Each structure stands twice: as C-alpha cells, then as structure tokens.
Structure 1
Amino acid sequence: MGLQPLEFSDCYLDSPWFRERIRAHEAELERTNKFIKELIKDGKNLIAATKTLSAAQRKFAHSLRDFKFEFIGDAETDDERCIDASLREFSNFLKNLEEQREIMALSVTETLIKPLEKFRKEQLGAVKEEKKKFDKETERNYSLIDKHLNLSAKKKDSHLQEADIQVEQNRQHFYELSLEYVCKLQEIQERKKFEFVEPMLSFFQGMFTFYHQGHELAKDFNHYKMELQINIQNTRNRFEGTRSEVEELMNKIRQNPKDHKRASQFTAEGYLYVQEKRPPPFGSSWVKHYCMYRKAAKKFTMIPFEHRSGGKLGDGEVFFLKECIRRHTDSIDRRFCFDVEAADRPGISLTMQAFSEEERKQWLEVLGGKEALFPSFNRAIIPRPEGSAQLDKMGFTILRKCIRAVETRGINDQGLYRVVGVSSKVQRLLSMLMDVKTCNEVDLENSVDWEVKTITSALKQYLRSLPEPLMTYELHGDFIVPAKSGSPESRVNAIHFLVHKLPEKNKEMLDILVKHLTNVSNHSKQNLMTVANLGVVFGPTLMRPQEETVAAIMDLKFQNIVVEILIENHEKVTVPVFLRRTPLPAAWTRFPLRLPRLPLPLGTLDQTGTTCLQTGAASGTGHPLPQVRPDHPQSSGLTLNLQPHRAAAQLLHLLHPNCHLSPSLFLPL
C-alpha cells in the first residue's frame, strides 16, 4: 500500500488522521530530498576524482538499487512500475561498466547535476517553504481560536462581532493555505518520478559517448531506453491529465466546501472543546477533542488532540448519548456551549464548546438538541446534473456522423482529439446535431464550416454529457481492478467479460467508438495519436467515478489503461463470450471427460459470474448439471465440480461432440 491520498475535503475537518497522512507525505519528500542530495554529491565525485571512479560507481549503483519510489493510492501502472524498476536497471548497468578499467572522462554536470539541483531547489525547496507557512498558519489559526473562545460573553456585541469576523477570515485563510499545501504535496509526489528519472536517463546517454566501448553498450541499451522513454512520456501525460482534474476538484471544493463533504460512517465529526472540572481552588480547564457521533447507535466518541503537542492522539473516551441541552450565555462565561448527558453515566453531564454558533447549531441538530435548524453534517452526494445528451437513436446518429467526418477529412491530422475546438462553435455544432430538425441538414463530411477539431470536440462533449458514462457507474470499479494487476492476457480476458456485461446500447456504442479509435491509432505515424495518447484523452470521457475525490482522480491513469486495452484488443474484446475446453482437475480423473470445440448447447451466467449448465426438458431428468466456476487467479482454467456419477453421465450425454470452453468468460478472483 502506498501513500494515502490527501482529500481536499479533509482540509476543512483537519482531523488527526488527515494530519498523520500529511506527515507521511512530508517524511517521504524529506527522504527523497536526502536521497537526491546524496546522489548529487556522488555525481560530483565522479567528475572530480577519476582515480576513484570505480568506488564512486559502486556507491552510486548501490544508492540507485536501494531507493524505491512511493506512490499515491493502492497500485501503480505498468509504466510507473517500469520507471521504478529503471533505477535497478541503471544499477546493473553500472556494475557491468565497473569491469572496464579504462579511464573515462565524464561530463555529467549539464545532464545530471544541474537538473537534480534544480528539481531539489525549485520543487522540493518550494514544498519546504509551503510546509513552514502551513505549520506557522496552523499555530496562528488555532492560537487565535483559543484566544477567541476565551472571550467573555459579557463583552459588547460590537466587540464580539468584530472578533467573530476576524476569526472567520483567519480560518478561511488557513483553509485556503491548507488546500494549496495539500495540492502541492501530492503534485510533487507524482512529479518526482519523471523529474528524477529523466536526468538519470540523460546521464546514461552521456556516458555512452565517453566510454571506449560506448557504441556497443548503447546498442545493447537502446531498446530498454526507448521503452523507458515511452514509459516516462506516458506517465507525464497521465500526470498532466490528473493534475488538471485535481485542480478542478480543488476549485470546486474551494467554492462550495460543504457540498463536497465525503460520506462518513459518522453522522457528525469535528473538533469540540470539552470542559474538565477540577477540585477547588483549581477551577476547570477546556481541552480540545476530536469528536465523532453515530446517530443510529447514539454512540459518542471523543479523542483529545492538541496540535502543539506534536499531534499525538490521546486515549479516546466513548459513551452513549442520553440528551443534549443548549447552554444559555448567562449560565456560563463562554460562547457556543451545550451540555450532553451520557445514558451510561447517570447524573454526569459534559459541557462542550463549538468553534462557532453555526457549528453549535449543527451539533445540536445531530445530537437531538432544541435547535434543529440546519441540515446534518453528512450531506448526500449531489448527483451530476443530467445533460441533454441521451443514449438513443439520435446519439448513435451523432456518433456515426462525427466518426465518418473525422475518418474522411482528418484521420491524419496531428493531435487528433487532443487539439480542442473553440468552445462556442463546439456547443453550436452539438446543439444542431442534437436537434431533430437540424441534424440531417448538417453536412460534416463536405462542409468547410466545421473544422475537424470542432467535430472531435463535439463528439467528446456528447459522450461527457451523457447522464451516465458509457462504461457505467456500476462497472466503474470492476473495470479498474484488472488494470491494476494481473498478466496482459488476464487483463484482456477480464475487460472482455466486463464489456459484455454492459447494457446493449452502451456496448454497441462503445464498439463503434473503439473501432474508430483503433483506426486513428493505426495512423499514429501521421497524427501522432498513439494508443497511450488516445487513452489519456478518452479515459475520463468513457469512464468517470460517481463521486469526485482525490483517490478517484488518482485512478484516472488506470481508466486510461482500460481504454488502451480496449483499443489494442478491439477484435478480441468485441467477440461474443464463448466457453473453451480446459483439462479437468486431477481429483476427477476417475470420470475423464474430453470437452471439444463448439458452443455449449445450454448455459446460463448468474450474477457472480458462475456458469451453470442445466439439463433441458428434452433430457427429462430435471437434475442440475455441475457448476463451472473460475479457478485460481493464476489459472485460466475452469473447475468442474462433478458430484454424483449421474451428473457426470448427464454432462457427457448433453455436450455436443465439438463444444468449447473459453476463459475469456471469467474474471480473475
């Protein structure tokens, strides 16, 4: 498991776990910074001391071999894994060079040292400065809140209102800074891979020109170098797409933070100050707690947490709520207070203080107090507004008209589908295409009024405007799973199976589109739109999560991979799902069956992906035949659970002499 994503919505809660995740990201960047610093030092040793070149190479190789990039989320793409493995490949290459005893003159200042120093100074250094500001603003914000909450409620209203405004402005500034810092942290985690590996690649390229046998070594390394360059470019392209999505989500949350609160197991959660009474003459103290409440069970949990103590969690306290009562200002010298009484602690009540009047009202509403004026903390996820585009006959007409025009006029245009059209013209064209009265009048193949980039943008806009993505919300997670792991063959089999679970209209439109994209990729030498580039463009278009979060955006690269698989394996994926012969398990050698090569006469697919063969009315037996289910993830075979002898006899009797079972029907477990 890599680093956990930092959700922008968590900036507003600023929970202890959010702080722990931030510290994990900071620790990883510090580790990277120290490693790059050491690597720069090693590189300078290579330049300054040719007599100790062999020792410096061994140290350099050792550093590369032991370092491993951390990643955000729960999986890496194949390109990222190749980039990670590239450091070990570079290490092995250096070990081979060490056998060469010839004196070599290395000039690595321009190719390695300066780019790393620039990355460390401009990128990692910028994050350090952001961390200082973030820590300083954290201290200032909570110190100001502490001071504000200690204001006596007996002060003049004008004075209190002015103080409220000042605190709110400061809190808003803190939230803004927190959002920027979280965005910067995640951006540098994603950027560091290609920003670091690219100078390394240049460094190795430079070495070839100085070694006596550099030409031969370069020939041996050339194939891997080209693959790595593709990996880096793919990762960079995906990073650019991810970064724009992250920034868009950050801006949405900045404008309406309450509308983007994440679903939580708790009805309400947040910081409250809890009064801790002490024996005379010590009075009482107010301790900040992170509080969580589950309304269904009336379970209240509070954990002491103080940022100034190093962010360490204290021992939690749990009780069951009996009632909640609002405290009047004249009964206590603090604002925003309310009392809660525990059902399992008779006669004992706790006084709590919220950060503001609005938050107090929200807590009162959730806890069943008297002022139930505001909606609960956990708002329902606001669904995306339904567009006017529909998956109907008109939609298929739009798709086919646009595809014919593109393939007729612009199949060789550079940057096809990547270059966007003018927004107003795209919207006007799409409106005309979606209007029954004007659709047939629009001639995209011959008219010069509509540029190819306008047509491609209109096509993408139509697909994005569908009420549900073409590959559906329901199957979104299922499509992502095989893109994260497994062999290339198992990925294709899994995607094959899932495509045939799509509704018929979705599957039909996807088939038309992917066939077209395959044609586009076949002209990549002219239009420069490789399969990877098309994946970057159409990944977010054909697949999108139902809830917008940073974690979902981090899966954007796997959406791209799914689209790449569809394009590269279009002919395989569009073939209907059949069954293919496979050997029986050893346990059933007493009942040997040969399953030859034609479709099964009868078969059903249940919701779990299990194929059940059943006897038909013609057999007259009414007994179910054995189930066929997926075997071990590494096996493409099937397991036939032959139970009684009768079932085996029925199976042998029913199967056509030439029937055939295909593993493409099944998902890996």
Structure 2
Amino acid sequence: MHIDIKKRKSRSRSVIPGEGSPGSPRSTRSMERPLKAGWLKKQQRSLVKNWQQRYFVLRGSTLTYHKDDKETTVQGVIQLRFSKVNELPPNSDDPGKYLFEIIPRTNGDRERCPYVFMANSQSDMEEWVRTLRRVIGVPTSGVFGKSLVDTVTYEQRFGPHMVPILVQKCVEFIKEHGLNEEGIFRLPGQDNAVKQFRDAFDAGERPSFPSDTDVHTVASLLKLYLRELPEPVVPWIQYQDFLDCTNLLDFRSTEGWEKLERQIALLPKLNYNLLSYICRFLFEVQLNSQVNKMNVENLATVMGINLLKPQIEDPITVMKATPQIQKMMTVMIRQHEKLFPVSKDVIPSPPSNKSESQKNAPRSFVGWESAEVQDPKEIILTVLGKLLRKI
C-alpha cells in the first residue's frame, strides 16, 4: 500500500501543467530541427533555490530540457504559448549572473511560478530571450532584431533607400573617417557608445554620428545589426547551397560560377540589395589594406559570420563551416562587379495600399527583376475579361 501511494504521487508530479513528463523518452517531435539548443542553468522551483545544468531544446513553441545534449531523456517540458519572457536585472550582491525568466500563462486566478534561467554570457542570454520572444510572438520594436522586410518597408516613407538607413549611415561614416583606420571591423568599439546608438535607432531616431565618433564603434554597430537580424542576409534555406558553391569554385570550369550566380539570383530582392551593398563597400575598405591592415581575407573572416550562418549555431557546425564562409565572402568581395552588377540595382518601391494587402504574397526575387506580384483580384478580373471577349 505504501508503494502504491508513492507511485500515485510520482504520477501526479509528472503531469503538472508546463512541466511535461520528466523521464520520458524522446518523442517523434524531436526529429524536427530545433530553432535553438544549448546549455543553461535552471533554478529549482523549490524552497532550496539550487541551480541545475540542463540542455535546452526549442522546437516550435515547446521548450524541453535534458541532462545531456543527446536528448536521451526529457527532464521537463515548458509550453511557451501565451507565456512572457523577461530579462532579469543583475544583482549587485551577486554579479556575473546572466538571468532571464519565463512566466507561464495564468491558470484561472492562480499565478504560475516563473522559470528562472542562467546563461553563460550576456550575449547568450540576449539571444535566448530574442528567440523565445519571436516564438511566442512578441513584436520587436525598433531596428535591431527586426526583419529586413519590415525595416525597409517602414523606412521607405523617409525616401527611397537600397538598404536600411542604419547600414547606410554606418557605411557612409566609415568611408569618410575610417578607411585608413588600422583593424577596422576587427577591433571592437566602445560598448557604452554602441548601446547608446542602438537605443537611439530602436527608439525611432535616425541619429547622425558626430565627426569625432570612434570609427570602431560605428563598425561594431553595423556588425551588431547584421548579427541580430532574425534571419541572416543569406537566408537559412540557401545557406548550405551557398557553401556548396565553394567546392566547385576551385576548378577551372564555369560550373561553380554558374551555381553561385543562380543562388545570388534566388535571393529575395532586399537581401540581394544588402549583400551587394556590403560587398561593394568591403571592396573599398580592402583597397586601403596597406594602411588599415584589413585585406580581403581578413574582412571575409570577420564579416562573413554575420552574413552567412546556420540556423542552429552550435560551435562544431560553425567551426566546420568557417573556412567555407571565409572563402565564399572572399569571392563575393573580389568579384562583386561580376556577381552584383550595377545594372541589377533596384531601389524598393514606396509602400502603397496595394502592396500593404500583399504581405502574404510570394516574395519577389532578383531573378525576376521586372516582375511584380499582382493582386489576386486583378488576375481574376483579367482572366474573366479575356473569357468574355472570346464569348
């Protein structure tokens, strides 16, 4: 009888809402590619607030945690729908902890206890918070962490722009003040200044950089913007295809070039514009490499990882891909005139009522330069008109 009571207690604990079924094996859902995975420390939800190291895996709106990175046994499940994610301020009495929390949805009048996590670094914590908020559907304000489409569409009201205003301002400042700066894009800027400029852009301002602004700060701001795009400039769906091109570019044949040109043509128009703009700019930077010590290979190394990166950024995958990313960026910078001809520059059209109604329409590609996605109603009316004329 005593054993039965224990069993009943253990069963009741396993079905606590939000906690999932600890100890259960991997489900078929685990075959899905995770949106994010990595080690975090989780605070125990008990009187003794100890920390447990766990491997967390995010798939869809479900966060599971495990004792190892093989996901052999599920220790718990956190359903994220209708949850809130908050960064926790650092504690002056206990510095060096990068904390955030997930507050589950309320169950009637009963408040649910938050889950508290500790990341390994500030950047790791911020990345988890951004990813979780995207999954939950919290709208991102400002410029950083906002999709390229949303930013460029919004900024068209200030006039036509090939690329986001922040990118243009950073590039123009570096061209004027930083082409001869040793270690440009390699040396870090001033953290406080980077944060101030970031906050200004996110607040909807379009600040200009004073002439005495540290050029490394502006370069760091540009890299930060590219790094925090919800999806990289080279979309995840094309990431591996781009890298595969590097294996063919070694041979004296046109196959590798043709494949690369096809992949570039398949880029969404806004992504193409931004990649083209960055490659042309980096070519200008390397022209001063005798002074700034940043040749094509150096620039490709420090900038490539901000433009091409896998959806899951585990250290092993990134390390393996680094030589290919560097080679691809080197080629695109050196051969920018061939790969990104000026004749293909197309400034996005200002938003209109019609384009606003087409948010869910298929995206246009560089390969269809003059093509425009038509309103479905217009297509139907056109077809009906042709049929009536035949009758």
TM-score (structure 1 length as normaliser): 0.30
Which structure: greater helix fraction?
A: 1
Determine which structure has more spread, i.e. the larger CA radius of gyration.
1
> Of the two structures, which has the highest relative contact order with CA contacts closer than 8 Å and spacing of 6 or more?
2
- TM-score (norm. length: structure 2): 0.49
